[in-house]
Chain A
């Protein structure tokens, strides 16, 4: 396997924003034990701005580093800006990921989208219209075309 960048290792060693959040405004839960990655992302929202973000992750080094990085990226962003955060921006911020680990960055993007979706549902009753998560199997075995 390709090795991790220093940035990935740094976030893996000292992950930012770890832990539970008191009364989060939105929760994004993605992944499944089958594939070995589960991410939970919690956000606080005030006046349309994400004021705080925290996470808990079951997974490999890349899963932990991408979770940590996405919480860093998203703090201070408006909801609209947050929804524009892509897996590629997480990968870039980490100075790249080994190819086999790219699915972790997709998971980070999805966790963020689901957290925003959860917040919108709670506050406006209308979410982003994301597909239901299939609890049985959510592995990213098939990478999006652009990641292949």
Chain B
């Protein structure tokens, strides 16, 4: 069966150039980078080359970036590290309701530790209101953490404007840029970013490696205590092959970004407009314009997400959903709920995220199959019938 992968926001395949660059660092150049002989020097050199590629893609200095195990660790390091290092200045953190669990759960943890956290709401389009941010700031605020691009709905927050506000108020600004990094330009100088989290496996690099930008002079507590690695900020023997792969992925992203933005956003726009034309009662979630080039997230009325995902999988198509049933919990996506979507529409969401290997033919095939699946499932749905007859009596929760 031909498989069509449309879950690039979940993870990406390792680019063959990345894989080839990594290979020698498992067997041939296996040295511990902390040693001074030949093998150690080779590892050290490779790490520093990767660091340069990573820093360059952010507009940062290479002394300002460290390698971590991925986005989750970077978020934990940035938020806890800043909170603990600055608690003499204040105990207030501002974030949003749209954040990834790596940020939200870290903030929940800090609340138990005595910190106060404000979770800013977002509009129906998923965008943060800057006035809300300004009025949430107090003289105790030590950190603002707002994601650059949302993983579920792809909405891009006004990062540069947030950075400007934070800078003016002398508050540190962290952004989870896991979804944006490598697919859109990021510049930590222009955007006034103090801390920024990224992950390699979202940009055709390997899993288990990521990075954190920490602006020079930022007060932060180390995350891992131990050896001298990463300037004592993150102890532990470096994942050399992973770092090399990450560096290579950064290089490729920088090289291909411009043309990929154009190509992928064109595919996305066409797919969204075809989809909304072909299937009635489908709603695009999140802003159409302030959006990652590769993200399509729709809610399909009257049917549930997991059953759509299973049906798509039976046709060889890999996508994901914000439905509770796909997460193992009973609550649908907090992101979709934050947009003010009804429970039914939140349960009925599907996310298609496009990538390097997505073609026009793929998207045409997906559109065809998807509309058949929606038809089939709607025939199974009691909501479809009752709403069609105007008899919905579910107290409005179905979004009817």
Task: Tell me, yes or no, whether A binds B.
Answer: yes
A interface residues with partner B (beta carbon < 8 Å): 1, 9, 12-13, 15, 18-20, 29, 32-40, 56-64, 100-101, 103, 135-136, 139-141
* B328 located at the interface, meaning its Cβ lies under 8 Å from any Cβ of chain A in the complex: yes
**Which A residues touch B329, using CB under 8 A?**
100
Considering only CB atoms, which chain B residue lies closest to A99 in the complex?
A: B328
A11 to B337, CA, bound (A): 31
* B75 located at the interface, meaning its Cβ lies under 8 Å from any Cβ of chain A in the complex: no
Considering only CB atoms, which chain A residue lies closest to B324 in the complex?
A: A36
CB distance from B342 to the nearest CB of A (A): 7
Given contacts A12-B310, A33-B397, A59-B304, contact A18 B379 (CB under 8 A): yes
**Which B residues touch A62, using CB under 8 A?**
325
**Which A residues touch B343, using CB under 8 A?**
33-36
A77 to B266, CA, bound (A): 57
**Residue among B310, B328, B395, B398 making CB contact with A61, cutoff 8 Å:** B310
Given contacts A36-B304, A36-B347, contact A57 B330 (CB under 8 A): no
A-B contact pairs, 6 of them (CB 8 A): A13-B314, A33-B342, A35-B343, A56-B381, A61-B325, A135-B393
Taking a contact as CB atoms under 8 Å apart, the answer to whether B395 and A135 are in contact is yes
A29 to B120, CA, bound (A): 38
Given contacts A19-B379, A35-B324, A36-B323, contact A135 B394 (CB under 8 A): yes
Given contacts A13-B314, A33-B342, A135-B394, contact A60 B383 (CB under 8 A): no
**Which A residues touch B302, using CB under 8 A?**
58
Digit string of B298-309 for contact with A (CB within 8 Å is 1, else 0)? Answer: 000011111100
A70 to B75, CA, bound (A): 47
A69 to B393, CA, bound (A): 27
CB distance from A138 to the nearest CB of B (A): 10
Taking a contact as CB atoms under 8 Å apart, the answer to whether B306 and A100 are in contact is no
Considering only CB atoms, which chain B residue lies closest to A57 in the complex?
A: B380
Given contacts A58-B304, A136-B395, contact A38 B382 (CB under 8 A): yes
A81 to B304, CA, bound (A): 32
* B344 located at the interface, meaning its Cβ lies under 8 Å from any Cβ of chain A in the complex: yes
**Which A residues touch B332, using CB under 8 A?**
36
Considering only CB atoms, which chain B residue lies closest to A101 in the complex?
A: B325
**Residue among B306, B379, B394, B397 making CB contact with A60, cutoff 8 Å:** B306
The 6 closest A-B pairs by CB, nearest first: A60-B325, A60-B306, A33-B344, A36-B347, A56-B382, A40-B382
Taking a contact as CB atoms under 8 Å apart, the answer to whether A100 and B397 are in contact is no
Assuming A18-B379, A40-B382, what are 10 further A-B pairs, CB within 8 angstroms? A12-B307, A12-B310, A32-B394, A32-B397, A33-B347, A33-B397, A37-B304, A58-B302, A100-B330, A135-B393
**Which B residues touch A57, using CB under 8 A?**
380-382
Taking a contact as CB atoms under 8 Å apart, the answer to whether A60 and B307 are in contact is yes
Taking a contact as CB atoms under 8 Å apart, the answer to whether A34 and B328 are in contact is no
CB distance from A26 to the nearest CB of B (A): 15
A100 to B330, CA, bound (A): 8
Taking a contact as CB atoms under 8 Å apart, the answer to whether A59 and B307 are in contact is yes
* B20 located at the interface, meaning its Cβ lies under 8 Å from any Cβ of chain A in the complex: no
**Residue among A19, A61, A135, A141 making CB contact with B307, cutoff 8 Å:** A61
Taking a contact as CB atoms under 8 Å apart, the answer to whether A58 and B381 are in contact is yes
* B385 located at the interface, meaning its Cβ lies under 8 Å from any Cβ of chain A in the complex: yes
Residue of B303, B304, B324, B329 with highest tally of chain A CB at under 10 A: B304
A20 to B329, CA, bound (A): 31
**Which A residues touch B303, using CB under 8 A?**
58
Q: Which of B349-388 contact A (CB under 8 A)?
A: 379-383, 385
Considering only CB atoms, which chain B residue lies closest to A18 in the complex?
A: B380
Taking a contact as CB atoms under 8 Å apart, the answer to whether B380 and A33 are in contact is no
**Which A residues touch B382, using CB under 8 A?**
29, 38-40, 56-58
**Which A residues touch B324, using CB under 8 A?**
35-36
